[in-house]
Amino acid sequence: MSDRSVHVVISGMVQGVGYRAWVAQLADSYELSGWVRNRLTGEVEAVFSGPSEVVAEMIAECRKGPPGSEVTSVSVQDNKHSSGTPFEVLETV
C-alpha cells in the first residue's frame, strides 16, 4: 500500500455546520496526518496524508459531509509533500 498526500477544497454549505471538527475527528480515526481550516471565501480547505486507500476513503466522506452540511464540490490535487504531523485544525485564512 503506497502513501498519498492530497490538498482538497470543499465548497457548499460547509461553514457553521461543524464541518472542520467532523473532518478532524474522521481524519484522526483514519490515522491520517494533515490539517483542515476554513477559508474566508466560505470554503473548507484540507490536506490529508496517509495510505492511498485511506486517503481515497476520506475524500469520499468529504463529498458526503456531516449532517447539516451541503457539499457542492470537492476539488482534489495531489500534494507533493506529506504533512507527517498529527492532524490539526488551523486558523481561518
Q: What is the tens place of the pLDDT at every residue in 16-32?
A: 999 999 999 999 999 99
Q: Dihedral sign, CA of 64, 65, 67, 71?
A: negative
Q: Are 79 and 25 in contact (CB under 8 A)?
A: no
Q: How far apart are CA 92 and CA 75, in angstroms?
A: 18
φ, ψ for residue 20, nearest 5 deg: -60, -45
pTM: 0.92
Q: What is the pLDDT of residues 6-20, one digit of tens each?
A: 999 999 999 999 999
| Residue ranges of domains in the chain | 3-80
Instruction: Please report the pLDDT score of residue 85 as a whole number.
Output: 75
- Measured over the CA atoms of residue 75, residue 78, residue 79 and residue 85, the dihedral's sign is positive
What is residue 16's three-state secondary structure? coil
pLDDT on residue 86 = 86
- Establish whether 4 is a catalytic residue: no
Q: Which CATH class name applies to 3-80?
A: alpha beta
User: Which pLDDT belongs to residue 27?
Assistant: 97
Question: What is residue 83's predicted lDDT score, i.e. its pLDDT?
Answer: 63
* 20 is a catalytic site residue: yes
Which residue ranges of the chain lie beneath pLDDT 50?
A: none
* Options 4, 37, 38, 79, the catalytic residue: 38
Place of cell 504533512: 83
